[in-house]
């Protein structure tokens, strides 16, 4: 039996007969980092995404493996990506916002209503619609944070109220008009460069902003701490209520912007614009939580999941599958994601809690392992 080396032994210079341990920047260390970064455990959705592409390339060889399909996947899922990103920050703080779909529908119809029925300019119409989205976020924050209503129930109730307002404004009919098809409003979503439309750029910018916030700021670390253990974070001086309130406001604003982009894209204000995006948004967020930063809701993992789902749905459409196949695919991916998330977060936590404490030279040498998902 060999004893665990002490810290001094680990730092002792290698003798003439002992190979020196590789430095951090050596090709061997960089290679191991690359292998870890590209492992299935870290980016499994990318490999599943590639497998789906191969399957549909064989299934529909004349229509799927083309540049047009790539552009269709990107352009067709940019709005879905914005909605999915809108739920990342609340989920990071362990808050559910089920009103994002209704908020998206609200800004879609309000923008169209102000442009067509009142004759306001695009800038004013968009500003008023976004003000309504901001109000929704504030109301959600008050109900969830101040009144202490469970976020799942509270935002579902808020969504019902929003839907009633949408019905009152539209009478459940889409709002159309030439104002929605004319520039500059139509350019918000229809302007393109090389076949890639502006909503793809919006998606990349939003993902970059959320990634930077969560990974490179103290606020992001506090959000994760709030999500993993709000009581412990509060004892450490984190203003958890303020963070939860702000995530709901941010979520509503991003979902509202997605509604404006949707109205510009289709040239109308639809009272049910956001409904189809709710399931896919949460599916993408939970799948994204198994990627890159396993156990943490993150921006780029969510984008990967959106494109994975979009590729599958686009492939099913090109392969002329049944109409119910898309919903079946999305629901199946969500279930698999929840299984993976539960297996990779809850189980290791239970094992760590049940593992007896170790004593001896190994622990004295700094052999304790910190839990990265419990950041303060």
* H or E stretch at 176: strand 175-176
Q: Buried b vs exposed e over 361-374: b needs ≥16 C-beta within 10 Å?
A: eeeeeeeeeeeebe
**pLDDT for 211-247, tens place per residue?**
999 999 999 999 999 999 999 999 999 999 999 999 9
How much is the pLDDT for 67? 93
- Provide the CB-side half-sphere exposure for 69 (13 A, CA): 20
Query: Does residue 346 register a pLDDT over 60?
Result: no
Q: For 143-162, what is the HEC assignment?
A: HHHHCCCCHHHHHHHHHHHH
Residue 158: CB atoms within 10 Å: 24
How much is the pLDDT for 207? 97
For 194-324, where are the alpha helices, taking DSSP H only?
198-216, 218-228, 230-235, 240-266, 277-288, 299-318
**pLDDT for 290-341, tens place per residue?**
888 878 999 999 999 999 999 999 988 888 777 888 888 878 877 876 676 5
* Contact (CB, 8 A) for 328 and 314: no
d(CA 354, CA 369): 14
**pLDDT for 102-157, tens place per residue?**
999 999 999 999 999 888 999 999 999 999 999 999 999 999 999 999 999 999 99
Q: pLDDT > 90: what percent of the chain? A: 58
* Contact (CB, 8 A) for 210 and 85: yes
Question: What is the rounded average pLDDT of the residues 83-103?
Answer: 96
Q: Regarding predicted confidence, which is higher, 347 or 133?
A: 133
**What pTM was computed for the model?**
0.81
d(CA 147, CA 138): 12
Cis amide prior to 49 (ω within 30 degrees):
no
How much is the pLDDT for 25? 60
Q: Which value, in Å, is the radius of gyration of the alpha carbons in the chain?
A: 24
Helix (H, G, I), strand (E, B) or coil at 308: helix
């Amino acid at each position: 039996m060999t004893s665990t080396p002490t810290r001094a032994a680990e730092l002792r210079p290698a003798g003439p007969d002992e190979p020196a341990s590789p430095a951090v920047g050596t090709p061997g260390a960089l290679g191991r980092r690359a292998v870890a970064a590209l492992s299935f455990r870290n980016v499994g959705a990318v490999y599943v995404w590639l497998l789906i592409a191969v399957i549909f390339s064989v299934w529909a060889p004349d229509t799927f493996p083309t540049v047009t399909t790539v552009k269709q996947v990107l352009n067709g899922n940019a709005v879905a990506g914005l909605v999915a990103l809108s739920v990342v920050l609340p989920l990071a703080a362990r808050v559910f916002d089920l009103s994002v779909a209704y908020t998206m529908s609200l800004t879609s119809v309000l923008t169209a209503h102000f442009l067509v029925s009142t004759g306001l300019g695009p800038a004013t119409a968009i500003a008023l619609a976004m003000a309504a989205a901001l109000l929704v976020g504030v109301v959600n924050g008050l109900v969830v944070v101040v009144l202490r209503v469970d976020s799942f129930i509270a935002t579902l109730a808020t969504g019902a109220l929003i839907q009633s307002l949408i019905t009152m404004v539209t009478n459940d009919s889409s709002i159309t008009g030439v104002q929605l098809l004319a520039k500059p409003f139509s350019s918000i979503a229809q302007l393109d460069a090389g076949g890639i439309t502006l909503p793809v750029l919006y998606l990349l910018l939003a993902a970059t902003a959320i990634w930077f916030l969560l990974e490179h700021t103290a606020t992001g670390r506090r959000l994760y701490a709030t999500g993993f253990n709000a009581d412990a974070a509060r004892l450490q001086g984190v203003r958890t209520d303020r963070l939860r309130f702000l995530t709901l406001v941010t979520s509503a604003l991003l979902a509202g912007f997605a509604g404006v982009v949707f109205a510009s894209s289709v040239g109308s204000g639809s009272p049910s614009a956001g409904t189809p995006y709710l399931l896919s948004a949460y599916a993408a967020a939970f799948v994204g939580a198994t990627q890159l930063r396993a156990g943490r809701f993150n921006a780029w993992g969510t984008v990967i999941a959106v494109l994975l789902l979009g590729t599958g749905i686009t492939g099913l459409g090109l392969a002329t599958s049944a109409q119910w196949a898309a919903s079946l695919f999305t629901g199946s991916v969500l279930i698999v994601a929840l299984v993976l998330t539960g297996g990779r977060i809850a189980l290791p936590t239970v094992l760590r809690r049940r593992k007896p404490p170790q004593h001896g030279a190994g622990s004295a040498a700094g052999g304790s392992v910190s839990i990265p998902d419990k950041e303060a």
